[in-house]
Chains A and B, each alone.
Chain A
Amino acid sequence: MADTSFTTEGLGHAYGRIAALHSLNLSVPRGRTGLVGANGAGKSTLIKILLGILDPTVGSATVLGMDTAKELINIRTVVGYMPEGPCLPLDQTAADFLVYAAGTAGLPPQAARQRASDVLTLVGLDEERFRYLGDFSTGMKQRAKLAQAIVHDPELVFLDEPTAGLDPSGRDEMLNLIARLGTFGIDVVVSSHVLGDIERTCEWVVMLDAGTLLHSGPVGGEADAGTVRVEYASDPSQIAGELTRAGAIVTTTGNKIVVRLPDGDPYTLIRDVSAHHDATIRRLDSGGSSLEELFIHHGQPL
């Protein structure tokens, strides 16, 4: 069994003259991985290269230890893919489509029917199995898309923006489903531009910006219990200066500061310094978002 979900070596891709990925070197362990970055960061391009839908312009990649250039069919036998865009035949029922999806992954007809039924139940569409996909709501379509990606029990599933277009409750349900996939023995690579989604569901994060790698590491590895995020009503540069003089590590972006105090209570310090400057605090988050801090650290706010 391979130790990595995927690896890349000097991987690059260009759409004509526009470079989408630049010399990417990655080694991502098994488990749930988040690909995070703004729109156009190269997340979907990376997934498509790993699935063999796109050929890399330079470099190479492996998925579950198999070379994408040489063992594509073997890779596709054991992976699933939920594309960002539509992928459902609108004139088929959910049950028929899932049987078809399982069959195209190589499952025999009887097994395909059984798996279709099980997976529809798993994603909460068992009551809707005989409805046509064209009559589904956006949330139901997203679930059907997830169902087709896992109907053949893949070892690894790529989910491209799985929460796109979902309302808060639909998003919550989808994230719960994704988090559960790990307990089924299915590794996940999920792309999103929403940091919170990645933090909630993933153990490893790969950050991309404009096709370059910003960071690859465990989620929470960079977290710090002594970190506080504060948003002020006015320019906080004087406050930031005083906090720094008091021993805090401060990152400033506009009216926001992220304060980390290695020794001591950051809240007391922030309260005292803010009161001294008579500053109005709009928002204060305990701990802050570790991924967002990392992005801010790289100067790439989402």
Chain B
Amino acid sequence: MSDSTGAVYDLGYEPYAGERRGRGGARRTIIADGIRRVLGLRRKARRKILPWTLVIIAVIPAIVAVGLAFFLPAGAADGIDLASQYGQFYVLGGTIALLFSSLAAPELLIPDRKDGVLSMLSSRPLTSNDYVLARFAAVVSVVAAFLLLPQLMLYFGEAGTHADGIFSGLVDTAHKLPKSLFVGAIYTLTLVPLAFVVAGLSTRKAIASAIYVAGMLAVSGVADGLVRQADFVGNRWFALLAPFDTANSLALWVFDESNPDSLLSVAHISPLIGLASLVVLAVVCVLIVLRRYRRLM
């Protein structure tokens, strides 16, 4: 018979006497959770499929363009000139970002309401504004990164194919980065607030995504028809009804790749007015969601 004896210890309860970060800590936690949620991180595998598929689709053209540029430099016959691709890549990336936003915003807002998580958050050191703005910051961060990733690949690709070497290339093409950041901000400002307001007012994720994408396409078609086909005084201002077309026009304008066929050009509306209309729209959308959540939390 063994002489060894055992004992069961109740570990009891250890009170927490450490740091409490209050409201700021709570906001940072919600932002970090939002970024993970949008990307499906620490979720079941099927939650990762859609966001990561879109990320791959967004970067593949940039990878292909950079790869071709290495083999067919800009100076050669039929060479690939990456320097002239930034604006066009934003037009392509913006379309994919529109789909991405249609998934991201509902994923952030609707499950918290549907699963009752808001009632838990209502007892935390947060206001409804804190919650909404933290969720907004999360989706803005992810969509902005989503838009900038292909641009950074183009930037490093252009620098890598520079005739004087990559370090000279990084310096010579550095002026493109502020433009890239600015255009990324324009697309984010265009896509996220609208997706956010649709998600804030919808009860099902799939329906919110469908309404958002269909709505963006529909207003674009209607605005295009009214500006190009209609014949009444002031019809040109309907160009501002199509925020996605406005963002596309602004992207090309910033990169000096103006398209005379863009809606803003046809309507003879200054890009700055287009930009102002996007800012106003974004502010209105966020205010609507803030107001809605004041009733919920």
Q: How large is the interface on A (under 10, 10 to 19, 20 to 34, 35 or more residues)?
A: 35 or more
Segment at the A interface, from B14-22, B94-102, B222-230:
B14-22
Of residues B16, B22, B30, which shows the largest number of chain A Cβ atoms within 10 Å of its Cβ?
A: B16
Q: Mask for B24-68, Cβ within 8 A of A = 1, else 0?
A: 111011101100000000111001000000000000000000000
Query: Is B256 on the interface with A (CB-CB < 8 A)?
Result: no
Chain A residues with CB under 8 A of B22: 73, 77, 106
Distance in angstroms between the alpha carbons of A81 and B117 in the assembled complex: 12
Query: Is B83 on the interface with A (CB-CB < 8 A)?
Result: no
Assuming the contacts A106-B22, A111-B18, asked whether A86 and B29 have C-beta atoms less than 8 A apart, the reply is: no
Instruction: For chain A, residues 69 to 109, give those with C-beta under 8 angstroms from any C-beta of chain B.
Output: 73-74, 76-77, 79-81, 83, 85-93, 96, 100-101, 103-108
Query: Is A51 on the interface with B (CB-CB < 8 A)?
Result: yes
User: CB distance B297 to A53 under 8 Å?
Assistant: yes
Segment at the A interface, from B120-128, B156-164, B259-267:
B120-128
Distance in angstroms between the alpha carbons of A51 and B111 in the assembled complex: 23
Segment at the B interface, from A31-39, A115-123, A240-248, A255-263:
A115-123
Determine how close the nearest CB of chain B comes to the CB of A61; give it in whole angstroms.
15
Assuming the contacts A53-B297, A90-B115, A91-B44, asked whether A153 and B16 have C-beta atoms less than 8 A apart, the reply is: yes
Chain A residues with CB under 8 A of B23: 73, 106
Query: Is A185 on the interface with B (CB-CB < 8 A)?
Result: yes
User: CB distance A107 to B25 under 8 Å?
Assistant: yes
Where chain A touches its partner, the secondary structure class is mixed
Chain A residues with CB under 8 A of B21: 106-108
From B14, B42, B119, B297, contact of A93 by CB (8 A): B42
Query: Is B9 on the interface with A (CB-CB < 8 A)?
Result: no
Q: How large is the interface on B (under 10, 10 to 19, 20 to 34, 35 or more residues)?
A: 35 or more
User: CB distance B115 to A88 under 8 Å?
Assistant: yes
User: CB distance B15 to A153 under 8 Å?
Assistant: yes
Query: Is A62 on the interface with B (CB-CB < 8 A)?
Result: no
Query: Is A132 on the interface with B (CB-CB < 8 A)?
Result: yes
Q: Mask for B240-271, Cβ within 8 A of A = 1, else 0?
A: 00000000000000000000000000000000
Chain B residues with CB under 8 A of A183: 13
Q: Mask for B115-141, Cβ within 8 A of A = 1, else 0?
A: 111011111111100000000000000
User: CB distance B42 to A105 under 8 Å?
Assistant: no
Query: Is A152 on the interface with B (CB-CB < 8 A)?
Result: yes
Chain A residues with CB under 8 A of B47: 91
CB-based nearest B residue for A133: B115
Distance in angstroms between the alpha carbons of A83 and B117 in the assembled complex: 10
CB-based nearest A residue for B30: A104
Query: Is B8 on the interface with A (CB-CB < 8 A)?
Result: no
Query: Is B11 on the interface with A (CB-CB < 8 A)?
Result: yes
Chain B residues with CB under 8 A of A115: 16
Query: Is A15 on the interface with B (CB-CB < 8 A)?
Result: no
Assuming the contacts A93-B42, A105-B124, A153-B16, asked whether A88 and B30 have C-beta atoms less than 8 A apart, the reply is: no
Distance in angstroms between the alpha carbons of A81 and B124 in the assembled complex: 9
Chain B residues with CB under 8 A of A108: 18-19, 21, 25
User: CB distance A87 to B18 under 8 Å?
Assistant: no
Assuming the contacts A76-B124, A148-B120, asked whether A122 and B18 have C-beta atoms less than 8 A apart, the reply is: no
Chain B residues with CB under 8 A of A185: 15
Instruction: For chain A, residues 49 to 74, give those with C-beta under 8 angstroms from any C-beta of chain B.
Output: 51-53, 73-74
Name 29 A/B residue pairs within 8 A (Cβ), A-sorted.
A51-B122, A76-B125, A77-B20, A81-B119, A81-B123, A85-B116, A85-B119, A86-B115, A86-B116, A87-B120, A88-B116, A91-B111, A92-B43, A103-B25, A103-B33, A104-B29, A105-B26, A106-B20, A106-B21, A106-B25, A106-B124, A106-B125, A107-B18, A108-B21, A152-B16, A158-B123, A183-B13, A184-B15, A185-B15
**8 additional contacts (CB under 8 A) given A73-B125, A105-B125:** A51-B122, A73-B23, A77-B125, A86-B116, A87-B119, A106-B22, A115-B16, A180-B13
* Closest CB pairs A-B (n = 6): A103-B29, A81-B123, A153-B16, A86-B116, A87-B120, A184-B13
